[in-house]
Chains A and B, each alone.
Chain A
Amino acid sequence: MFRLHTSQAGILRLYQPFLWLYPAEFRDEYGRELCLSFVDRWREERSITGLLLVWLQAILGIFYQAPREHYHMIIHDIRYALRILRKDLSVTAAAILILALGIGSTTLVFSLANGLLLRPLPYPQPERIIAVTESSPKDPNETTQISFPNYFDIRARTRLLDDIGVYASAQWPIRGEGTAERVSGASVSDGVFRVLGLDPLLGRTISREDDVPNGPKVVVISEELWQRRYGRDPRILGRSIQIDDARSTIIGVMPAGFHFPDRADFWLPLQMDPTKAARTDYFLHAIARLKPGVSIQQATGELESILEQIHRENPGVNNNWQAHAIPIRDFVAGSYRKAVITLLVAVALLLLIACANVCNLLLIKASARVREIAVRTALGATRRRLLRQLITESLLLGLAGGALGVVLAYAGIPALLSLIPVNLPLWMNFSPDSRVLGFGVAVSLLTTLGFGIIPAFGSFHADLTDSLKEGGRGGNSGARSKFMRHGLVIGEVALSVILLAGAGLMIRSFLALRMQDLGFHPENVLSTSLDWPESRYHDGPPARALLARLTQEVSSLPGVISTSFSSGIPLNDGWGRIFSIENHPVDLKDMTFINHIVVTPNYFHTLAIPLLQGRDFTESDFDTPQIVIVSQAFAKKNWPNESPLGKRLRFGPPKNNEPWHTVVGVVADSKHGAYKGEDRPSVYLPYSSDITPNVLLIRTSGDALQLHQALRSRIVAIDSDIVVSRVLSLEQIIARVSWQDRFLTVLFSAFAALALLLAAVGLYATISYTVSLSTHEIGIRMALGASVSRVRAMILREGMTLALAGLCIGIVVAFALARLLKTQLYQISPNDPATYIAVPIVLILVAGLAAFLPTRHATRVDPVVALRHE
């Protein structure tokens, strides 16, 4: 350093740190000069004001100039990078496309995760809202609704909950003004609106005075219903609306977008009598708002102790069930979490492959650029400067790929939603928001680090003098670069094998699900829900006459083979009830559930469920309904070594003393309540004055859906107040109940296919590059008489060695990871042999092709040309 007076050295120590604001290159170049000039100016001044001015001017100057220097440098880097990227357009385009696919897929899946798991629910302080559930000690993970008396006691005793509300959702027909339609609604206790914390747009919500047995007939409607049926009539409050059979007065309109639960458009007061409801009837959903600062654990603790008190005070109904507090988000979206996380992992693997692929491309390109870098280094470019340049190039690629990827993701969302055949709850909003965009940008930057760093640093390891000496070939076939490139290809292949194995398992599982024996034939069966005005057709002879009329009319439609009514849509609506067998007393705690299905005669014929023993229902059973037909599994379990015919069972808790039902027949097992997984055994009851089933099932000789219009007009002709809804073929219903599996399988397969393609491209690029480097060697070999097939085999061997190494690693890792998919798989073991046989075959075929293509190019080499290549 130069010599200075002590005071000057001091002032310089104050000045120098500011120079760090400059880019390093500028500081290195002019830092010393800046200091010298500053000290000279300082020395010149005598007055305190002058000195202060010098100081001020110097510092302000730095604050003004340093950012400009950064800006100039960045612009310079970007210009240079663009020039370089333009020079090799095919590599640049390939890299951007690969990155766009990786980043786009990742962002797409993230927008799913965002809509389901991250986006706050549309209520104030949603983190304080919980769901309250109960579960049997036998199956603590299977949480269910709660019973009304338990809700009533929890509400009275809680200290940690601000409020609690219960609701039961259903679809009701709305008649009267306008066309009759079936609309989602809910019966709610007064607490529901307070728990959710949203004020009505007009009027008021349901109060405690409304929610009493035989209370006023009032209803709160959604903004959308107000719009749809009433054209936003400003005098809507006080008007009445006919829901099902009863007229209710509209007391409030909720703001737009409010549809709790799911898609509800109106809310009626629950008006239940706690003294008449059973403690073991778990049919109400409960939500509560925690007091500020109360944790989920504290709330669960309190709920458990309240339930214990209830059990102590009511020993007759003690079934040891437990209460839980679950964050509302987990309650409404918990079932999707595993699937979403599985997809995120899959797409992360795809992104890694994309990174490895681009990294590989850049490494190959870097090998070709070693000379350029050596020359620039020789001309005095610092390492830092070159690194910055290379990172700028990667960053440009990353951002271009990211921008295209985010566009792809945005465009892909509608395609993704088209894979979902059901109406999702309206709070599930997958439209891209700032979080998705931020994620896209973050992933692009992270990706840039992922693929850009290795080639950037790798460039400096090349020996400078060597690369300059290598002359015209301008390439570095150095061991380090080759090692890295091969490592990347092996990694890509391994990752794609993992995804392939995952997709294989998913496909196998989905096929197993769709090809399972349902116990009935869903082909050519149409199902529809009918809602008739109960005042006109109340249970008993009037409803019976209506069903007879409907059956007669529908049966006369062309192509109809058989019709019947059921209390639920197969695979969609399950009504679980507990039961006990005569002479086999069982504790309430140990009672299990069955599917309780009320049907008209011909049900088994319509669905093609074989009758195994006894008889089918007949019309005359209407008057003597204390009989049942049971499924084979039910019969075997309860009367293992004797005929079930003539045996008796009854429903509900023993203390209810419901009537006994005699078994008159046994039918083959069929799925009714659950499409996926274990279904409960079924018990069928004949329709009677107690219950009129309202789901019409029609078996036709051809495409069942073609019946739709004729069916609707025939029914409306009978009574235009009958609401015909959910007209679906059983195959459509199967598609709806299995959409999650299909969705997961389709996406997983798409990612795996993409992964395989990228790995193949990576392999192809690497082998092609090796071939281009070995042109000379190939030429010599061919000049010395090596046959074309021998040269091809040599190249193919290199490619297949990489592919096989990747395959081995991938299979081992896939085998270990597959266990994580276990809960998503249906009847397929994570070690499914077929998958682990198919995956290597597919991979070897694709890798073989990718490695073979470059060999064709190599063997077309003319030895003379190849030798001249030197």
Chain B
Amino acid sequence: MRPFLLSRDTFHILVALADRDRHGYSIMQEVTERTAGEIRLSPSTLYSAIKRLLEQGLIEELEERPDPEHDDERRRYYRLTKTGRRAATEEARHLEKLLSDARASGLVRKRA
């Protein structure tokens, strides 16, 4: 059923990489922005997670430089792999299902 069990931080990193390839700091920024400052990844947490994601093949490191507009030549850039995208999508669907279950049971109020 669920091919991957993603931790909260891992899921956020995958989501941050969903729209475009990013370097580490850009991921940190994106996660902070997306969660309105609620989650601030520390560099150590980020890179331990990245190492694990690379090993699992959920993300990959880019060899060519990305779009020059966003390029920072000192950085390493990461991209979601197909497996990674699938894992993140599965996770999102799963969360969605959980949420709709919660709504159906009246635990959470439906959005107006």
| Interface of A toward B, CB cutoff 8 Å | 2, 26, 29-30, 33-34, 36-38, 40-41, 57-58, 60-62, 64-66, 68-69, 72
Contacts and interface: CB of A to CB of B under 8 A. Distances in A.
A69 B45 CA distance: 11
Contacts of B50: 30
A52 B106 CA distance: 43
B46 A37 contact: yes
Question: Nearest 4 A-B pairs (CB), nearest first?
Answer: A61-B42, A61-B44, A37-B43, A65-B44
A56 to B, nearest CB: 9
A40 B25 contact: yes
Contacts of A57: 40, 42
B88 to A, nearest CB: 22
B24 interface: yes
Interface of B: 24-25, 28, 40, 42-48, 50-52, 74-76
Contact of A66 (B25, B40, B44, B51): B44
B51 A41 contact: no
A36 B24 CA distance: 9
A38 B43 CA distance: 6
Contact of B48 (A37, A40, A58, A65): A65
B45 to A, nearest CB: 5
5 contacts: A29-B51, A36-B74, A41-B28, A65-B44, A65-B48
B28 A30 contact: no
B44 A64 contact: yes
Contacts of A40: 25, 28
Given A41-B28, A65-B48, A33 B76 contact: yes
A61 B76 CA distance: 21
A58 B76 contact: no
Nearest to B49: A65
A33 B26 CA distance: 12
B67 to A, nearest CB: 19
Nearest to A31: B47
B74 A2 contact: yes
A162 B65 CA distance: 85
Contacts of A65: 44-45, 48
Nearest to B46: A37
Judged by DSSP, the binding face of A is helix
Contact of B47 (A2, A33, A60): A33
Contacts, number: 51
Contacts of A30: 47, 50-51
Given A58-B43, A61-B45, A33 B24 contact: yes
A37 B42 CA distance: 9
Contacts of B43: 33-34, 37-38, 41, 58, 61
A38 B47 CA distance: 11
Nearest to A43: B25
A633 B45 CA distance: 91
A36 B28 CA distance: 12
Contact of B25 (A41, A60, A68): A41
A57 B24 CA distance: 16
Contacts of B51: 26, 29-30, 69
Contacts of B48: 65, 68-69
Contacts of A38: 43
B20 to A, nearest CB: 18
Nearest to A68: B48
A77 to B, nearest CB: 14
A37 B23 CA distance: 9
Contacts of B28: 37, 40-41
Contacts of A33: 24, 43, 47, 75-76
Contacts of B40: 57
Give the interface centre of B28, B43, B45, B74 by most chain A CB atoms within 10 Å: B43
Give the interface centre of A33, A37, A64 by most chain B CB atoms within 10 Å: A37
A135 B61 CA distance: 84
Contacts of A34: 43-44, 47
A164 B74 CA distance: 82
B76 A60 contact: no
A224 B40 CA distance: 70
Given A34-B47, A40-B25, 9 more contacts: A30-B50, A33-B47, A33-B76, A34-B44, A37-B24, A41-B28, A41-B43, A60-B42, A69-B48
Give the interface centre of B24, B46, B48 by most chain A CB atoms within 10 Å: B48
Contacts of A29: 51
B75 A36 contact: yes
B25 A37 contact: yes
Contacts of A64: 44-45
A458 B48 CA distance: 33
A644 to B, nearest CB: 97
B103 to A, nearest CB: 35
A57 B40 CA distance: 9
Nearest to B47: A30
A58 B42 contact: yes
A35 to B, nearest CB: 8
Nearest to A2: B74
A38 B25 CA distance: 8
A396 B50 CA distance: 30
Nearest to B43: A37
Contact of A62 (B24, B44, B52, B74): B44
A36 B73 CA distance: 12
A803 to B, nearest CB: 50
Contacts of A36: 24-25, 74-75
A60 B44 CA distance: 9
B25 A58 contact: no
Contacts of B24: 33, 36-37
Nearest to B76: A33
Nearest to A35: B43
A364 to B, nearest CB: 33
